Structure 1
């Protein structure tokens, strides 16, 4: 197993850059030994192709077995799989007792991990130890602290690159190499490189470029979790150097800063390149309510994060041509690729028939971070304060003054580590905030550590306050690790040599409980009676439903979080008003469709329902049958507009059209959107 010597250390001194109160400052704490091994050295491992030898972990499971059969038939070179402690044969391929044994005997270039979320981290670690060049983790609900531990290990080595977790994977259409569960009928060998957070949006993007006759070179999924093993900039670097790639598409969404970093990279790339490859992009979640999680674990805006429209504008300024729906990518990119050497600017960087300007979207950032409800596992303030009191922190709830400061212990999505956010403003405004990322392996904070001295300096606390500050931050760190917290925020005050906490907002990782059964005592603090009933009902069936405020008259039913966000955005840009966000999950079955219809129609505001399904892993004819059956079973009285794309889309559309029910089938998103909007207005 790699050692931890390369990890950043809390006691290491940061670069000697003065703190600026006029801008957000991130201070990185690196140890000098981290220079000897660099995770960035693994970047070339992403360039998979016909040569790539693929291993499967969780080889004999049902999902892996089905995936191996499809991938082999498509042309992927699979060399076998791993079942711990077992040797034998499966699907005519060898079964190895460990990844190490597989590495020694089969020499794989990549490993596809097909194990449940609670076993994923251990499987990744085994692959790292065996120095497998590329590891692709597809599972969702991987506990946050498990993946933090994985990243702390990845930083110490330069052999293994991770894609995921919670992603469809990576696929070379040219080399017929599929590592993941992408819907193969959508892909065609070609020249467009695609990187995306969302699986369903990436499938729509792939299908659009296939229809346009462009095809794809390499498609990389960043995944929807907050800590991604491979990000947008990583993919952009690969696409820049890839001779097979003539155009690049980036599909982002709300949450984190990866899109802003991509915009910076694109700006620099276009500055230093005489004839840059055309780049197009889309941002999902433009209309998402601030702070709410939108299906993906990483799809929410935290304090200090850029809003989705800021990401959109940053990419546009950088020179990316922006669209509001993935079906625009194909013809748009076809035009750009044909115009070799064209100069693109932010002011003209948009395509498609956009009905409303970006500035007209009803989207505001709340004035206080206390209004955020990013995940369902936030506990009450008094419960959070009780946790602090149990560890000896002085608490004085309810007192307010103008000299308070704010601390947030959360994750740094760029540094893939924990970070302490320090601010003198309740809203964590950039001008009064600094970020201090540190290693997950950190044991303790003392008064002389750089985190404490830097925090005290920024807050202008005297040296006599360092011990008290160190105790508070140490307690937060203990709770963060012991309870597997997602984010811990406190409002505190220093006076006369004492620090007291006056408010707290604690959130905990749901995956630790959902996939691993850990932290049951924390989850028992949840009071579902105070939550939105429809959202709780949907959760029981694995459906993510978010009730939207306002005059929403269109109910939405979509398979996939990214596609669901984009559907709400695009309807709004066409002048519609959505009542909800609803993600049935990657597969829409007749039962999930039926449950979804029932929940949607329980909202009296809904005058029409828009069903937007991309049949990638599930056939469109099966989905159409489920919609028809659900419509009849529930005796729906509202009109339903159905847009089906993907596998067997023509058959599915025909079944809807010939059903005799008030169902309206469409191929084009814009046509379907206009129909739904007009029906909702009646």
Structure 2
């Protein structure tokens, strides 16, 4: 999701926020783009921890110190002491003055993350890495409004494993260290577990990694694909580049444009490989990650795949194929020094050629089931909210003869501009070809006072006369009030301009951020509107155990159990490419436990379509032997009758695979995804 900061020459900032006196800069024209060099961490990087004395931070600090990371202490508000033999500072400002950190790792809960980031920005810490999940969207919108006014601090995250230099032994995050080895491949990824698989693949291939940057799975990322690509282009340690994307936003499309330009201006471009998760994701669903959903007008995963392939990126269908593929490309580059990346495109195409038919974006007239990462209220509830704002609501839809002038208007989050934006379309169903985005600063209170004439431009796009301007002001201002006060992430309305100049709303679809309620305890009244009885029962049950489960339509005969949203999406994609039919998407969370494995088996086997189960676990934060033990116990306790194929990779993988193989149960252990996929497909077919 390339922000304004990523390509300042090609993507000019349309709305300039006034610099806040709280965030000092060394220039009258602060530029977030100027903080890009702060991403080049290494042995020199001095790391601070916020939330230093917490259990997770303590364990992480001990591991990172043993690996070689230079940690200079941590922060516990109002406390000055010592922890793990390192100083504890009462504030980030005090730590900045005494320890001179280059980076801060934020290890606090999601509802406290924005405040911690703000403190680091005020102290001008060069690099801030936020790992927490469930950070409210509006908290991060506020943070990005701050970041755009300064030129000192760079943000990685939130909701990400962090950033790690394998060469410099510097880990800022919770990446599984046994997977990493010093080398020459730069990796940027949205998904944590997919990035670990990618890292392990390059390590197995003898390539290792130079720098690995995580974008994170949230709607708004502090650092995006283009930012990472610019670092990798000029990094002498990086010889090959890997990009791991997924459904949601336009970051991959921005990356494709950057790569196209890179190929043209570079005589010997570095080879680039990529994977896109979510090719089989059903339209309108949120696939585990908070940002893994496509807003109206955004490209689906297939469009992203095609965009990258068109510019010569070598695509793979599973991360285990990255290592050998990149080794081949690097060998070919060294031998021939190709002048165009089209040569690398001829190298290997591991993903089979399929007809990639784009999924349609969800229509306002076809509301989806409630998601565990969001809340969509019913149209009549949305119209009630509009009535409370004194907006004109029409009780019945306009007739066919009246509908010619109808239009759609959406207020959502622009992942590229890192700000709210209006999306307009002169048709009632949003048409991407005729729609236009109008981003504006989150700090805006009155939409009539933006730097550019926002209301006028929206009116021109919709073909509204000047007499309709007061109505348009009331409509946009009303939507903006609901958006901010109730912490929405998407407000869509269909509007009919009446003969007397009124703008009558006759349909609405409103989505609200669940993290504001679950993580921060805000917006209780909005979330009371949820009716779980109308949702998919298995999805509600899964939610209670912290599992994200999406029941897939069709003839699905393979149940999937995966740790990590990106890996879960890719598992469904890859099994489908191999000819399998998946019954579900299931993400146990990044750290699977025996309890979540057992609960997952119960949910999966409640679907009578399931004839075989595919367990795909990457043991990064959790050891594979622990997962194997959980699988064996769950299989016995539940008396499972369907065969289970288990692919365990990562920490203690050989021990875990041996435990599965010697269990005496109908469990089949594999190391290779290809072999495991063939086995589970044959079992499901039988």
Query: How would you bin the TM-score normalised by the shorter chain?
Result: over 0.9
Q: Which SS does the other structure have where 2:320 is aligned?
A: helix
Range 29-38 or range 195-204, more displaced: 29-38
Contact (CA 8 Å) 1:225, 1:298: kept in 2 or not?
Answer: yes
- CA displacement at 1:399 relative to structure 2: 1.6
Mapped pair 1:597 → 2:601: yes
- CA displacement at 1:424 relative to structure 2: 1.5
Do the aligned partners of residues 648 and 397 (structure 1) sit closer, same or farther apart at CA in structure 2, a change above 3 Å counting?
same
Do the aligned partners of residues 50 and 423 (structure 1) sit closer, same or farther apart at CA in structure 2, a change above 3 Å counting?
same
> CA separation in 1, counterparts of 2:449 and 2:598?
58
Contact (CA 8 Å) 1:27, 1:437: kept in 2 or not?
Answer: no
Task: Find the counterpart in structure 2 of residue 95 from structure 1.
Answer: 88
- The within-5 A match list for 1:108-147 is 108-147=101-140
> CA separation in 1, counterparts of 2:76 and 2:459?
51
Task: Find the counterpart in structure 2 of residue 181 from structure 1.
Answer: 174
- The within-5 A match list for 1:482-501 is 482-495=485-498, 496-501=500-505
Q: Taking structure 1 as the reference length, what is the TM-score of the superposition?
A: 0.94
Out of 434, 437, 446, the position equivalent to 1:435 is 437
> CA separation in 1, counterparts of 2:219 and 2:298?
12
Out of 657, 663, 682, the position equivalent to 1:659 is 663
> CA separation in 1, counterparts of 2:360 and 2:157?
29
Task: Find the counterpart in structure 1 of residue 24 from structure 2.
Answer: none
Mapped pair 1:385 → 2:389: no
Out of 12, 32, 35, the position equivalent to 1:39 is 32
Mapped pair 1:371 → 2:374: no
- CA displacement at 1:435 relative to structure 2: 0.3
> CA separation in 2, counterparts of 1:252 and 1:121?
25
Q: Which SS does the other structure have where 2:305 is aligned?
A: helix
Task: Find the counterpart in structure 2 of residue 233 from structure 1.
Answer: 226
Instruction: Please list every run of 5 or more consecutive structure 1 residues that lacks an aligned counterpart in the other structure.
Output: 1-6, 9-24
> CA separation in 2, counterparts of 1:349 and 1:533?
47
Task: Find the counterpart in structure 1 of residue 406 from structure 2.
Answer: 404
Range 394-403 or range 305-314, more displaced: 394-403
Q: Which SS does the other structure have where 2:410 is aligned?
A: strand
Contact (CA 8 Å) 2:455, 2:472: kept in 1 or not?
Answer: yes
Task: Find the counterpart in structure 2 of residue 3 from structure 1.
Answer: none
> CA separation in 2, counterparts of 1:679 and 1:461?
60
Deviation digits for residues 19-51 of structure 1 (CA, Å, limit 9, x no counterpart): xxxxxx999334698981100000000000000
Q: Which SS does the other structure have where 2:568 is aligned?
A: helix
Deviation digits for residues 399-430 of structure 1 (CA, Å, limit 9, x no counterpart): 22232111100000011000000111233222
Deviation digits for residues 26-81 of structure 1 (CA, Å, limit 9, x no counterpart): 99334698981100000000000000000000000000000000000000000000
- The within-5 A match list for 1:335-350 is 335-339=328-332, 340=334, 341-342=337-338, 343-345=340-342, 348=345
Q: Which SS does the other structure have where 1:409 is aligned?
A: strand
- The within-5 A match list for 1:563-602 is 563-602=567-606
> CA separation in 2, counterparts of 1:295 and 1:430?
25
Task: Find the counterpart in structure 2 of residue 470 from structure 1.
Answer: 473
- CA displacement at 1:450 relative to structure 2: 1.2
- The within-5 A match list for 1:242-321 is 242-321=235-314
Do the aligned partners of residues 568 and 426 (structure 1) sit closer, same or farther apart at CA in structure 2, a change above 3 Å counting?
farther
> CA separation in 2, counterparts of 1:99 and 1:366?
44
> CA separation in 2, counterparts of 1:358 and 1:525?
42
Contact (CA 8 Å) 1:27, 1:434: kept in 2 or not?
Answer: no
Mapped pair 1:195 → 2:188: yes
Mapped pair 1:208 → 2:210: no
Do the aligned partners of residues 287 and 509 (structure 1) sit closer, same or farther apart at CA in structure 2, a change above 3 Å counting?
same
> CA separation in 2, counterparts of 1:367 and 1:534?
22
Out of 539, 543, 551, the position equivalent to 2:543 is 539
> CA separation in 1, counterparts of 2:12 and 2:575?
37
Do the aligned partners of residues 157 and 627 (structure 1) sit closer, same or farther apart at CA in structure 2, a change above 3 Å counting?
same
> CA separation in 2, counterparts of 1:367 and 1:270?
35
> CA separation in 2, counterparts of 1:364 and 1:201?
23
Mapped pair 1:29 → 2:15: yes
Task: Find the counterpart in structure 2 of residue 633 from structure 1.
Answer: 637
Instruction: Please list every run of 5 or more consecutive structure 2 residues that lacks an aligned counterpart in the other structure.
Output: 6-10, 20-26
> CA separation in 1, counterparts of 2:417 and 2:362?
27
Deviation digits for residues 264-285 of structure 1 (CA, Å, limit 9, x no counterpart): 0000001000000000000000
Contact (CA 8 Å) 1:320, 1:349: kept in 2 or not?
Answer: no
- CA displacement at 1:349 relative to structure 2: 5.6
> CA separation in 2, counterparts of 1:30 and 1:346?
42
Do the aligned partners of residues 208 and 447 (structure 1) sit closer, same or farther apart at CA in structure 2, a change above 3 Å counting?
closer
> CA separation in 2, counterparts of 1:152 and 1:192?
33
- CA displacement at 1:431 relative to structure 2: 2.1
> CA separation in 1, counterparts of 2:547 and 2:232?
35
Do the aligned partners of residues 319 and 360 (structure 1) sit closer, same or farther apart at CA in structure 2, a change above 3 Å counting?
closer
Mapped pair 1:645 → 2:641: no
> CA separation in 2, counterparts of 1:463 and 1:228?
38
> CA separation in 2, counterparts of 1:157 and 1:510?
30
- CA displacement at 1:178 relative to structure 2: 0.1
Do the aligned partners of residues 517 and 31 (structure 1) sit closer, same or farther apart at CA in structure 2, a change above 3 Å counting?
closer
Task: Find the counterpart in structure 2 of residue 158 from structure 1.
Answer: 151
Do the aligned partners of residues 572 and 66 (structure 1) sit closer, same or farther apart at CA in structure 2, a change above 3 Å counting?
same
> CA separation in 2, counterparts of 1:537 and 1:347?
47
Q: Taking structure 2 as the reference length, what is the TM-score of the superposition?
A: 0.94
Task: Find the counterpart in structure 1 of residue 47 from structure 2.
Answer: 54
> CA separation in 2, counterparts of 1:26 and 1:425?
28
Task: Find the counterpart in structure 2 of residue 413 from structure 1.
Answer: 415
> CA separation in 1, counterparts of 2:290 and 2:569?
14
> CA separation in 1, counterparts of 2:366 and 2:130?
34
> CA separation in 2, counterparts of 1:445 and 1:235?
34
> CA separation in 2, counterparts of 1:317 and 1:278?
14
> CA separation in 1, counterparts of 2:559 and 2:47?
42
